[in-house]
């Protein structure tokens, strides 16, 4: 099957970015959300990205303008999915909500539609059966779309192999590097490594082995990269980092979560609040 | 005190690199080893580095030639340390051997000499008392000298604070970024993070979550870096990676060590043998 029409569920940060890249890649895109105000925010976000893409000469003004003609927003979910060859769902990371959304999609989407979730932490097997057509369901997880151009394809045991193949092709058309998981794994591939690395940095800090700056320097100078673990945590957001870390069972994670909580409680959420481990 | 004369114990890979950088930085350097043939190997290694430094216009031929005049080799340890303001010890990573070397240095080195070990895995407190002057003893740990320009300063509880300050200055003169550990820690700062990150990659592979290539891609594309965890392991050497991993107590490390062992047993040691996880 050929994908032409794309339905995005949720006009948040990632939903908007996926929608825009899909429109840039030549697809017709409908973005559904329950709140009209989220469309204004989404449009502003996309306009900003568009300016950056033109400034860095990745796309012409003409290509951007054409992409906008292929992108529309709707508060009507039936309209959003009526023609959809594929759905990419980026609604709030809440299991019950996602199950409800996928139950509804199973009722109203055409038979041809491929169902994908952009969930960060849930497993597709926790959602697949709610669709009524689990073989068409797969996790299709973006990182940032425009900077970190990688997409995880994580099937559940009942996903049709043809769906995986279609998603690999679709991922490439969206200018992402597709990677395929051979089995379900919390945190996909990258996050599993990132969490271990950041956790080790947190352990060094909690155990007072070295300063934030010296831990970051050790990583940056060795790997010739612009950010160390604490700068990365600031960019992720210390509230998000706390949310993930405090759920981990080991003592080191608990201790690091407690430290992160002191920053969050002080309103130091990282880059977005102007201060975290560093000031911005 | 001002450092002018440097004594390097052990003319192996790191000893030679530290010696050459010290000579390039204007210090008079004496390199001691028990085997004369190691001097020939060391000189070849340094000549190769020198060519690279000239090619990349980091040093002139004149500066290199001058550095060579400040660098000498000796099989006589008393001659090596007679004038030394500082000793940097890079002998084989063996506790008993290092204890023996430091006992000897305590007997023959001048009173002024600062004692440093470049150990990768041992703690300075396991060596300090053998010197007879533990307050002058500190770990001073290089990574690669010319590519990863960072040096760990890891005191033991009895190290004099003045020694730490001198080592910070000396590290900068050697064009390294000095980082100071507030307490002893196995693997210093960087290795603790690196081990966690590589271990998480190993866990993904052992649990058959994804292929070697897809795990590497996930890291490389997200962080815009040229190597993923398995390429890094190939560059470290799979024998070294096995040696470290098989000593770790947890089940995931044991499983990954068992996998690494199959590569080592097949002669696949990584880049240096022409094949590891990848072919070279």
Q: Does A266 touch chain B (CB under 8 A)?
A: no
pLDDT of residue B266: 97
Given a cut of 90, whether residue A247 has pLDDT beyond it is: no
Nearest to A64 by CA among A23, A31, A29, A30: A23
Rounded to a whole number of angstroms, the distance from the CA of B187 to the nearest CA of chain A is: 11
CA dihedral A63, A176, A142, A74 (to 10 degrees): 30
Summarised one tens digit per residue, pLDDT across range A180-226 is 999 999 889 999 999 999 999 999 999 999 999 999 999 999 999 99
Given a cut of 90, whether residue B122 has pLDDT beyond it is: yes
Calpha distance A150→A144 (Å, rounded): 8
Average pLDDT estimate for A250-277: 95
The neighbour count for residue B126, using CB atoms within 10 Å, is 15
Among A residues 177-196, those touching chain B with beta carbons less than 8 Å apart:
177, 179-183, 185, 188-190, 192-196
pLDDT of residue B249: 86
How far CA B112 is from CA of B26, B109, B137, B195, in Å, comes to: 20, 8, 12, 37
pLDDT of residue A32: 98
pLDDT of residue B247: 86
Per the CB < 8 Å rule, is A189 touching B149?
no
The neighbour count for residue B144, using CB atoms within 10 Å, is 13
Per the CB < 8 Å rule, is B195 touching A199?
no
Closest-CA residue of chain B to A192: B200
The highest-level CATH class for domain A191-273 is mainly alpha
Nearest to A23 by CA among A148, A173, A126, A157: A173
Per the CB < 8 Å rule, is A190 touching B218?
yes
Summarised one tens digit per residue, pLDDT across range B177-231 is 999 999 999 889 999 999 999 999 999 999 999 999 999 999 999 999 999 999 9
CA dihedral A142, A145, A148, A149 (to 10 degrees): 90
Calpha distance A47→A64 (Å, rounded): 9
Nearest to B130 by CA among B150, B102, B152, B156: B102
Q: With pLDDT > 90 as the criterion, what percentage of chain B qualifies?
A: 94
Specify the CATH number of the domain A5-180. 3.40.50.720
Average pLDDT estimate for B164-168: 98
Calpha distance B119→B101 (Å, rounded): 13
Among A residues 8-37, those touching chain B with beta carbons less than 8 Å apart:
none
Rounded to a whole number of angstroms, the distance from the CA of A192 to the nearest CA of chain B is: 7
Per the CB < 8 Å rule, is B218 touching A181?
no
Calpha distance B106→B9 (Å, rounded): 14
Among A141-145, B79-83, B133-137, B242-246, which is the least confidently predicted range?
B242-246
Average pLDDT estimate for A86-95: 95
Domain map of chain A by residue range?
A: 5-180, 191-273
Residue of B197, B210, B225 lying closest to A181 (CB–CB): B210
Calpha distance A201→A252 (Å, rounded): 10
A172: pLDDT confidence band, cut at 50, 70 and 90? very high
Q: Does B197 touch chain A (CB under 8 A)?
A: yes
Q: Residue B32: which H helix or E strand, with range?
A: strand B28-32
Rounded to a whole number of angstroms, the distance from the CA of B77 to the nearest CA of chain A is: 33
pLDDT of residue B141: 98
Among B residues 209-228, those touching chain A with beta carbons less than 8 Å apart:
209-211, 214-215, 217-219, 221-223, 225
Residue of A182, A183, A229 lying closest to B193 (CB–CB): A229
Residue of A179, A196, A217 lying closest to B197 (CB–CB): A196
CATH fold for domain B191-272: 1.10.1040
CA atoms within 13 A on the CB side of A210: 29
Among A30-34, A85-89, B250-254, B268-272, which is the least confidently predicted range?
B250-254
Per the CB < 8 Å rule, is B183 touching A208?
yes
Per the CB < 8 Å rule, is B197 touching A197?
yes
Calpha distance A130→A48 (Å, rounded): 36
A1: pLDDT confidence band, cut at 50, 70 and 90? confident
Domains B5-180 and B191-272 equal at CATH topology level: no
Q: With pLDDT > 90 as the criterion, what percentage of chain A qualifies?
A: 94
Whether ipTM exceeds 0.90: yes
Confirm if A142 and A18 have CB atoms less than 8 A apart.
yes
Per the CB < 8 Å rule, is A204 touching B189?
yes
Summarised one tens digit per residue, pLDDT across range A80-90 is 999 999 999 99
Given a cut of 90, whether residue A270 has pLDDT beyond it is: yes
How would you classify the pairing of strands A177-180 and B5-9? unpaired
pLDDT of residue A164: 98
pLDDT of residue B255: 95
B248: pLDDT confidence band, cut at 50, 70 and 90? confident
pLDDT of residue A121: 86
């Amino acid at each position: 099957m050929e994908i032409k029409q794309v339905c995005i569920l949720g006009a948040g940060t990632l939903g908007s970015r996926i929608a825009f890249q899909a429109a840039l890649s030549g697809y017709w895109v409908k973005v559904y959300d329950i709140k009209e105000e989220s469309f204004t925010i989404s449009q502003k976000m996309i306009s900003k990205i568009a300016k950056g893409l033109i400034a860095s000469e990745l796309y012409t003004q003409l290509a951007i303008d054409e992409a906008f003609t292929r992108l529309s927003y709707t508060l009507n979910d039936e309209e959003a999915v009526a023609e959809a060859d594929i759905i990419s769902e980026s609604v709030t990371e809440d299991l019950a909500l996602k199950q409800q959304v996928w139950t509804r999609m199973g009722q109203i989407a055409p038979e041809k539609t491929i169902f994908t979730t952009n969930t960060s932490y849930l497993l597709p097997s926790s959602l697949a059966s709610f669709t009524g057509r689990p073989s068409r369901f797969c996790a299709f997880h973006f990182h940032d779309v425009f900077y970190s151009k990688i997409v995880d394809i994580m099937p559940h045991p009942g996903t049709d192999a043809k769906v995986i193949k279609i998603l690999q092709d679709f991922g490439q058309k969206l200018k992402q590097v597709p990677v395929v998981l051979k089995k379900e794994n919390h945190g996909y591939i990258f996050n599993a490594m990132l969490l271990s690395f950041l956790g080790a940095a947190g352990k060094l800090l909690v155990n007072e082995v070295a300063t934030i700056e010296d831990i970051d320097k050790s990583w940056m100078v060795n790997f010739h990269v612009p950010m160390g673990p604490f700068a990365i945590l600031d960019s992720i957001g210390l509230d998000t980092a706390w949310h993930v870390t405090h759920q981990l069972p080991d003592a080191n994670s608990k201790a690091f979560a407690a430290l992160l909580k002191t920053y969050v409680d002080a309103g130091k959420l990282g880059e977005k609040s102007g201060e975290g481990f560093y000031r911005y």
